[in-house]
Copies of this chain bind each other. A is one copy, B any other.
């Protein structure tokens, strides 16, 4: 247990946390958070095309992907990277698997959580992950689950940016300026040698979101300059003392 604020990212595949919220991770780490990342799988079957084309075997693919994830996590300053190794395409968690994730949630006691969009016809692992994140958040709040443990409060669940946002019905309501940590995110992306084509893709995403940041913070009249940003959709309402 620590006095530092904490956050928990729940990622279906090994690299999702890098592309989709690497900036948020690095920034909150700099702000003094301990950010934990849960990778439910390595994306070994479905998101490692290059390695399979090279003829690698399953364990090799997983090892390589794990290594990339570890290096990316380090680049971002991740507090702890937890690899669940539950398989992908499809990802499936039975009850015991879910309880493992609940254990992690309770251990971290995150101030906020992150996961995938709630709809994704291209990648059903993503929407499954988001559904499981909600289910495990609920279990972690249950006083009767492992009585005596500290139960979870009510952390926000942010949905990070999916590929082809409009097809997923994902709508960002929060833009985070990640300019101060951009180099770390870029470095983390470059740890994923099998998806080189995505480095520039997600660099452009960050640049477009920066434009949206500026527009929504004042636009042509006082908008704050921003070079790189990330967008998030909130599931739950905020509670505030000032609007």
Question: Interface residues, chain A, CB within 8 Å of chain B?
Answer: 7, 24, 27-28, 31, 44-46, 48-49, 52-53, 58, 61, 88-90, 92, 95, 98, 112, 121-125, 131, 134-135, 138-139, 141-145, 147, 150-154, 156-158, 163-167, 169-177, 197, 200-201, 204-205, 207-208, 211-213, 215-224, 226, 231-232, 234-243
A44-B144, A98-B90 known; A239 vs B224 contact (CB < 8 Å): yes
Can you spell out 30 A-B residue pairs with CB atoms less than 8 angstroms apart? A28-B242, A31-B242, A45-B142, A46-B138, A46-B141, A53-B143, A58-B144, A89-B145, A90-B138, A121-B134, A121-B157, A122-B236, A141-B219, A152-B221, A153-B221, A153-B222, A154-B222, A154-B223, A156-B243, A158-B243, A163-B215, A166-B166, A173-B238, A174-B243, A176-B242, A177-B239, A177-B241, A204-B204, A204-B208, A217-B239
A237 & B221 in contact (Cβ 8 Å cutoff): no
Q: Tell me the complex Cα distance, A122–B58, Å.
A: 37
A240 & B90 in contact (Cβ 8 Å cutoff): no
* Most interface-central of A138, A151, A211, A239 (chain B CB within 10 A): A239
A202 to chain B, nearest CB (A): 10
A151 & B221 in contact (Cβ 8 Å cutoff): yes
A237 & B172 in contact (Cβ 8 Å cutoff): yes
- CB-nearest residue of chain B to A197: B211
B215 & A208 in contact (Cβ 8 Å cutoff): no
List, in ascending order, chain B residues with CB within 8 A of A216's CB: 154, 236-239
A45 & B173 in contact (Cβ 8 Å cutoff): no
List, in ascending order, chain B residues with CB within 8 A of A88's CB: 142
B89 & A92 in contact (Cβ 8 Å cutoff): no
- CB-nearest residue of chain B to A90: B135
- CB-nearest residue of chain B to A145: B45
Q: Tell me the complex Cα distance, A175–B118, Å.
A: 23
A241 contact from B61, B138, B165, B176, Cβ within 8 A: B176
Q: Tell me the complex Cα distance, A131–B238, Å.
A: 25
9 further contact pairs, Cβ within 8 A, besides A45-B145, A153-B222, A216-B237: A89-B142, A90-B138, A123-B138, A151-B221, A166-B166, A167-B237, A173-B173, A176-B243, A226-B239
